[in-house]
A and B are shown apart, each in its own frame.
Chain A
């Protein structure tokens, strides 16, 4: 299923061939509520699609689309965690030119505030509504 959700691009294989399953399982277990929905999603999809791996690509896509429309919350848990784990991967970061660092503790640098950006707005007359 992962291969169909996130296909190959440039030098990267499809997601299902990137060894991400262990991380998906680990991460999904970090919260009981999410884990419950995710495991239910996997079980439901597997039960409804026992011959999934033997189908053609387009048949697999059809099966996923049916699951997506029939079980939106369950499907969404699979898609969400798949996207998160894929986009945590260093290989993906390298391809995108993404630093991959956590937001903290380094943060980012931005140009400081510049008063001159308000030059136009400062010419506008007050228009807040007076109250007697």
Chain B
């Protein structure tokens, strides 16, 4: 593939750090607009035919080589994360496609109210943009990634039609939904970036294997290696894999000049660029910025606000499961893509907390997964083991609570003083405590989840009040805003302190809403890329 307008010294127009959800989107958009774009990704391309769901060892692989927690997975391309000061462990994947390789692709959008938390509820801050300003990019992203769903949801504003009808509910899904209908509570089929029909280049429909969280053998689940990256490469973008960035480099004026990195052979390299886009997720991006100190940026790149790494938000997850009397083949169908409920999404201060939560319905899997607990306690060993296992197999359904975390400056990602990755780069360290508002929210959700499960006919309710392995959504650590003293990037994702540095991942979130963030992340990435195309032709060589 020939680079467009390649500088004789190898300088590219835009260097993107990270090839995941946002990096893929931004790279494709810019490349298609004629920019010379290169991406550095520390992981590698994945071969769907080698995903563990076709391996006889898949149950073991799920917990080890394909574990979502990088500290358990420990592949060469993974870096350690010190999570000892956090009740939530990180979940991410390093590779082309990033965490979209392992995500369940449950893809609701933010609500309009999610952009106005301060104005509406007197807490946190407002975003410098509105839902309406992002809507065309949500629509575009849906078209590229492929969304299965259906219009008419009373909990969400009207929007453009989905590309494909919803995924099947299954007998298990209909059973769980019956509880919500009995209570008169909202439910709606999940928006999912999973093909319910053939859609996209070479991408089949889902064949309901139940293991979409391990990478999709069918290519039915959308990930950016299958969607944005083919478009990016056809338009002349390049990607170097096995490339671990050490720091973003700057010149005497404090502008970004590219990145120092270690290539796949272990050699130190430098890639020059007219602009840098950070797309390394809400942990990886602040880590690199904090590691990119200089005289001009003594506390980290573009950190005059002191907010790089601060306001870390997760979505605190509780998981409530129940056992039904009937067998429902719960292992059939995408794991977390049945339906959701947003009955308690918008703020109602009579509940004693602000903001709200989404329920994401969950299936359960085969006997080994059940025996090891799945979403609950492991089946007890010894006497009674077999009876309990047979009771649960095919009968357990769960509801994950996605609660809205509020930004708090004491929740941070910083650099660990001792732990490093295999190249000696300081590891990130998480410092996080759950707020009272979040705890009250989760407790409210747990109470209502029990009611819904019981209304649906479940018993033997089990509650995990805060899942430890739940750090899927990494947000807030380089927040967006109009005021440089209280934000890191502006409304276009451009760093206040460095006008040729952009951030497009979940770091820029001002607030986290109570939904899976990836469609919003990707919409923001497209919007930032579009801004660069429209306003920053000066970045072209």
Contact = CB atoms under 8 A, between A and B. Distances in A.
Interface of A: 4-7, 9, 27, 30-34, 61, 64, 79-81, 83-84, 86-88, 92, 96, 98, 102-115, 117-118, 120-122, 124-131
B156 A7 contact: no
Given A87-B366, A127-B155, A128-B154, 11 more contacts: A31-B64, A80-B63, A84-B59, A87-B367, A87-B371, A96-B367, A104-B209, A126-B155, A128-B346, A129-B113, A129-B346
Interface stretch (B11-19, B160-168, B247-255, B285-293): B160-168
Contacts of A112: 168
A81 to B, nearest CB: 7
B415 interface: no
B198 interface: no
Contacts of B53: 102-104
B112 interface: yes
B45 interface: no
A45 to B, nearest CB: 14
Given A83-B371, A109-B208, A103 B74 contact: no
Interface stretch (B296-304, B383-391, B439-447): B383-391
A110 B170 contact: yes
B332 interface: yes
A7 B112 CA distance: 56
Main secondary structure of the interface of A (DSSP, over half): loop
Name which of A106, A121, A125 has the most chain B CB atoms within 10 A of its CB. Answer: A121
Contacts of B367: 87, 92, 96, 98
Contacts of B131: 131
Name which of B58, B130, B154, B332 has the most chain A CB atoms within 10 A of its CB. Answer: B154
Nearest 6 Cβ contacts at the A-B interface: A107-B207, A103-B209, A87-B368, A31-B64, A83-B371, A108-B332
8 contacts: A34-B63, A107-B206, A107-B209, A108-B208, A117-B169, A128-B112, A128-B346, A129-B120
Contact of A117 (B119, B152, B174, B196): B174
A102 B332 contact: no
A22 to B, nearest CB: 14
B218 A96 contact: no
Interface string B187-231: 111000000100000000011111100000110000000000000
A104 B54 contact: yes
A114 to B, nearest CB: 8
Contacts of B168: 110-113
B469 interface: no
Interface string B32-76: 000000000000000000010111111111011100000010100
A83 B154 contact: no
A114 B371 CA distance: 33
B220 to A, nearest CB: 9
B366 A98 contact: yes
B540 interface: no
A126 B217 CA distance: 38
Given A96-B367, A108-B210, A108-B332, A128 B65 contact: no
Contact of A124 (B154, B167, B372): B154
B134 interface: no
A6 to B, nearest CB: 6
B150 A102 contact: no
B211 A30 contact: no
B423 interface: no
A6 B345 CA distance: 44
Given A96-B367, A103-B58, A127-B346, A31 B154 contact: no
B111 interface: yes
Contacts of B510: none
B456 to A, nearest CB: 14
B59 A87 contact: yes
Given A111-B168, A128-B156, A33 B72 contact: yes
A121 B65 contact: no
Given A106-B207, A127-B154, A128-B156, A88 B56 contact: yes
Contact of A105 (B166, B217, B345, B385): B217
Nearest to A106: B207
A104 B382 contact: no
A114 B171 CA distance: 12
B532 to A, nearest CB: 28
B47 to A, nearest CB: 13
Given A83-B371, A113-B167, A7 B385 contact: yes
A81 B371 CA distance: 11
Contacts of A107: 206-209, 218
Contacts of A118: 150, 152, 188-189
B155 A27 contact: no
B208 A110 contact: yes
Contacts of B154: 121, 124-128
B381 A102 contact: no
B177 interface: yes
A68 B276 CA distance: 50
Nearest to A65: B382
A121 B186 contact: yes
A30 B64 contact: yes
Contacts of A87: 59, 366-368, 371
B137 interface: no
Interface in B69-94: 72, 74
Contacts of A88: 56, 59, 368
Contacts of B211: 103-104
Contacts of B166: 113
A104 B50 CA distance: 11
Nearest to A125: B154
Interface string B100-139: 0000000000011101100110000000001100000000
A104 B218 contact: yes
A100 to B, nearest CB: 9
B352 interface: no
